[in-house]
Amino acid sequence: MGESAVIAGQAFNGISVASILLLAALGLALSFGVMNVINMAHGEMLMVGGYLSYLTCKFVHGPFAFLVALLIAFAGASLLGGLLEVSVVRWLYGRPLDTLLATWGVSLILQQGARSIFGPIGVEVTAPEWLNGSISIEHGALAGMDLPYVRLFIILLAVVVLSLVALFIARTRWGLLLRAVHQDREMSEALGVNTSRVDSMVFALGTGVAGLAGSALALIAPVTPTVGQSYIVYAFLVVILGGLGSLLGTTLASLLIGLSSAGAQIFMGVSLADVLLLVMVVLFIQFRPKGIVVRHSRALGEA
Amino acid sequence: MQPSCRNARSQKFGSSLILMAACLVLTWAFPSAEAAGPPVKVGVLQSLTGTMAISEVTVKSAEMLAIDQINGAGGVLGRKLVPIVEDGASDPAIFAQKAQKLLEQDKVVTVFGGWTSASRKAMLPVFERFHGLLWYPVQFEGNECSPDIMYSGAQPNQQILPALDWAFEKGYKRIFLLGSDYVFPRTANLILKKHILHRGGVVAGEEYVPLGGTDFSSVVTKIRLAHPQIIFNTLNGDSNVSFFKQMTAVGMPPSKLPVMSFSIAEQEAKAMGPSLVAGSYAAWNYFESLDNTPNKKLVAAYDAKFGAGSVLDDPMVHGYIDVILWAAAVKKAGSFDPNAVRKAAVQLGWTSSAMGNVKFAANQSLYQTAYVGILQPDGMFKILWQSKNPLFPEPYDPLAFPGKHCVLK
């Protein structure tokens, strides 16, 4: 395995980590950007997605059971997210600290709920046959490189989801409303946009994507009641680094974090690479407090 | 006596009244000959939630089985045991806090529990301050020796070094060290490195992943680059599932690149799905497949309590034996006082157990036999190798920590 293969291999690993981060952070960026709501229970939507795929794979068999599981994870998590928005978040608009506390409470309830139902021990989703194996490069400069199908699938999923969300925002009527509310909430309201329905929709969409992330994650790691906790911190990092509410910024930030962490891990251990990553983000925020992509939005009161 | 009283609830009202009266009279008239004194509280402190729950919940079950069996035989010194169960939540700070609660508020006479070395290190000052006695059931890195802890789990020379002996015998001399980032893997690998180099082997690489970590992509790449003949794996808890899944995904399942794991026993193999880890090796002081009478009895008793198909493993059996040996030491001492009990425990002599013959040495660690096994698809280990005799426990490895000795008064 040559040097170029190592670097290419780590780049692949970085993109693979970035695609999971992107799926985890996309919904957070949406709800943060449009509604200015910090959803602490976002990580638990990953967990819900993971458990839903576990349940689906238990009852549905066959080679494409996992695709069904993805759909169910999306539907289930967005339903739960919609419910959370209508029952809790909606009543706390304009009180960011209260929202923070309330959604954190919800996150604890969901974790304990999962613990009571599924037990503290992680459950497994076995990857379908067609995702077993990998592409091995045997010749040329990249000889020895190995691309597991599972990771390729997750990258593909992230690309597809990102494109669909981008299309949704750019091309559909709901997307138009979403952009309008994002740019100027009061003006949209004055023009007859039902902003609370747009809010519910954005929130449900965001949590649904998190559900997909949880489902994808279940292919490479066990689903535990605390699985959301280990990704939520990175998801927040991505959102802050990317610039609030920007799809492009979120994508760039996921790639930056994924690639630099994989790159650092060539030279140092995983723990130290994590430390370096945090230092890097803190420094970056010092110089560009609004993140990679700065969007001007009245919703965030910064015009 | 008690079960029939409990059954009375399901009877019709009239007959249940009569039964209740009869039960009352009987309890009154024939107090058990043994259970004379008031019940005595013992603490059980394991992680029932969090990343370590995968391993620790069942240790609690085994400790409870031993407590039930002792109570069924009349208790200790005529007093029934009342277990106070607490959840350490996979968090060392919570272990310390709960240990203090058990000793200070509940006034337990002893505590069975702990798994990670971090949890033990966090509890140690609490036990020293309150002069309690902790029975610690898990293999660990040694390099510690306190009069307030009974270390029944393997010392390095009873698990990791025998595994190294076995690997060298098999010709695996190029070894990759992989572990979770905390005290046990770091110290275990420090000792392993000294011994590997001392015996002319090669350390192909050394990597640590944060406890509970799930991304092994870079680690897998590094392993591929290092071309080891075997991986010595000290990952803990759920991280193992991610590691084996991601190794298998790049075409390096344990059947192709041998993995010797120090934290995967029958319980973890069952939770992870034996197909994922079949063919990987483990070194322990107990396997459920051991062929001896005390083991068969223990397996039968455990199945009877927790259902057929439940699985026993090394830390569980250490937890079980801790309770049994504690009761024996209390009887010998004629007292529940922790200081008297620990002094009696090291004078108990050889006890036949499910792990073979065991005995507490003067340093409060256990003489025990080392075994190496390979995991079968049915989730049981086939035993490949065992040490000739029960090994003397050495808390301070002479190569890694020269000149240090454990002397307890």
- What contacts B398, CB < 8 A, 6 or more positions away? none
DSSP output for B227-281: --SEEEEE--TTHHHHHHHHHHHTT--TTTS-EEESS--HHHHHHH-HHHHTT-E
Contact assessment for residue B21 and residue B62, using Cβ atoms and an 8 Å cutoff: no
Q: Which residues pair with A223 in a beta bridge?
A: A123
The predicted structure's pLDDT at residue B16 = 47
d(CA B247, CA A192): 55
Hey, where are the domains in chain B? 1-30, 40-155+291-367, 157-289+375-386
CB–CB of A134 and B210 under 8 A?
Answer: no
CB–CB of B210 and A149 under 8 A?
Answer: no
ipTM of the complex in this document: 0.74
Comparing B121 with B11, which gets the higher pLDDT?
A: B121
User: What is the sign of the dihedral through the CA atoms of A98, A104, A108 and A111?
Assistant: positive
User: What is the sign of the dihedral through the CA atoms of B378, B384, B388 and B391?
Assistant: negative
The predicted structure's pLDDT at residue A1 = 61
Sheet of B381-386, strands arranged across: B202-209, B174-180, B230-234, B259-261, B281-284, B371-375, B381-386
Q: How far is B296 from chain A (nearest CA, A)?
A: 27
Question: pLDDT tens across A175-209, in order?
Answer: 999 888 888 888 999 999 898 899 999 999 999 99
Residue B47 has pLDDT above 80, yes or no: yes
Question: pLDDT tens across B118-132, in order?
Answer: 899 999 999 999 999
The predicted structure's pLDDT at residue B81 = 96
DSSP output for B73-90: TT-BTTB-EEEEEEE-TT
Task: Give the pairing type, strands B366-367 and B356-360.
Answer: antiparallel
CB–CB of A136 and B249 under 8 A?
Answer: no
Let me know how many helices (H) and strands (E) chain B has, helices first. 14, 15
Q: How confident is the model at residue B274 (pLDDT cuts 50, 70, 90)?
A: confident
Q: What is the CATH number of domain B40-155+291-367?
A: 3.40.50.2300
- What contacts B31, CB < 8 A, 6 or more positions away? none
CB–CB of A134 and B242 under 8 A?
Answer: no
Residue B8 has pLDDT above 50, yes or no: no
Residue of A nearest to B178 (CA): A269
- What contacts B403, CB < 8 A, 6 or more positions away? none
The predicted structure's pLDDT at residue B29 = 43
The predicted structure's pLDDT at residue B198 = 95
Report phi then psi at B175, rounded to 5: -120, 135
- pTM greater than the 0.80 cutoff: no
Residue B224 has pLDDT above 50, yes or no: yes
Residue A110 has pLDDT above 60, yes or no: yes
Q: How far is A245 from chain B (nearest CA, A)?
A: 27
**What are A's interface residues with B at a Cβ cutoff of 8 A?**
1, 6, 9-10, 13, 16-17, 115, 119-122, 124, 126-127, 132-134, 136, 144, 146, 148-151, 217, 220-222, 224-227, 230, 262, 265-266, 269-271, 274
Q: How confident is the model at residue A296 (pLDDT cuts 50, 70, 90)?
A: low
d(CA A169, CA A175): 4
Residue B23 has pLDDT above 80, yes or no: no
d(CA A88, CA A84): 6
User: What kind and span of H or E run contains B27?
Assistant: helix B13-29
**What are the structural domains of chain A?**
3-300 (1.10.3470)
CB–CB of A122 and B242 under 8 A?
Answer: no
A-chain CB neighbours of B225 within 8 Å are: 1, 6
B-chain CB neighbours of A133 within 8 Å are: 251
Question: pLDDT tens across A53-102, in order?
Answer: 999 998 988 888 899 999 999 999 999 999 999 999 888 887 888 988 99
Residue B25 has pLDDT above 70, yes or no: no
Question: pLDDT tens across A202-258, in order?
Answer: 999 999 999 999 999 998 888 988 888 888 888 988 988 888 767 889 999 999 999
Q: How far is B347 from chain A (nearest CA, A)?
A: 39
CB–CB of A225 and B49 under 8 A?
Answer: yes
Residue B153 has pLDDT above 50, yes or no: yes
Residue B63 has pLDDT above 90, yes or no: yes
Return the amino acid letter for A235.
A
Q: How confident is the model at residue B406 (pLDDT cuts 50, 70, 90)?
A: confident
- What contacts B131, CB < 8 A, 6 or more positions away? B148, B338, B339
CB–CB of B249 and A120 under 8 A?
Answer: no
CB–CB of B251 and A133 under 8 A?
Answer: yes
For the ranges A219-223, B76-80, B385-389, the lowest mean pLDDT is seen at A219-223
Question: pLDDT tens across A134-176, in order?
Answer: 888 877 777 777 888 989 999 999 999 999 999 999 999 999 9
In this complex, which of B209, B218, B250 lies closest to A146 when CB atoms are compared?
B250
Q: How confident is the model at residue A295 (pLDDT cuts 50, 70, 90)?
A: low
- Give which of A22, A19, A81 is closest to A49, Cα–Cα: A81
CB–CB of B224 and A144 under 8 A?
Answer: yes
Q: How many C-beta neighbours within 10 Å does residue B25 have?
A: 10
Q: How confident is the model at residue B100 (pLDDT cuts 50, 70, 90)?
A: very high
d(CA B269, CA B153): 19
- Give which of B158, B59, B71, B159 is closest to B112, Cα–Cα: B59
- What contacts B360, CB < 8 A, 6 or more positions away? B150, B152, B325, B345, B346, B348, B366, B367
Residue of B nearest to A268 (CA): B207
d(CA A269, CA A59): 40
A-chain CB neighbours of B217 within 8 Å are: 13, 16-17, 151, 262
d(CA B243, CA A104): 30
Residue of A nearest to B242 (CA): A221
Candidates B61, B215, B225, partner chain A, best to mutate (most A CBs within 10 A): B215
* Averaged confidence pLDDT in chain B: 88
> What are the strands, taking DSSP E only, across B118-253?
134-136, 149-151, 174-180, 202-209, 230-234
In this complex, which of A10, A122, A127 lies closest to B238 when CB atoms are compared?
A122
Q: How many C-beta neighbours within 10 Å does residue B405 have?
A: 11
The predicted structure's pLDDT at residue A232 = 87
CB–CB of B241 and A265 under 8 A?
Answer: no
In this complex, which of A6, A151, A224 lies closest to B221 when CB atoms are compared?
A6
Candidates A142, A271, A275, A278, partner chain B, best to mutate (most B CBs within 10 A): A271
Mean pLDDT of A270-280: 87
Residue of B nearest to A271 (CA): B210
In this complex, which of B54, B208, B224 lies closest to A122 when CB atoms are compared?
B54
d(CA B409, CA B94): 30
Report phi then psi at B372, rounded to 5: -120, 135
d(CA B282, CA B257): 14
In CATH terms, is domain B157-289+375-386 a member of 1.20.1600.10? no
Residue B14 has pLDDT above 50, yes or no: no
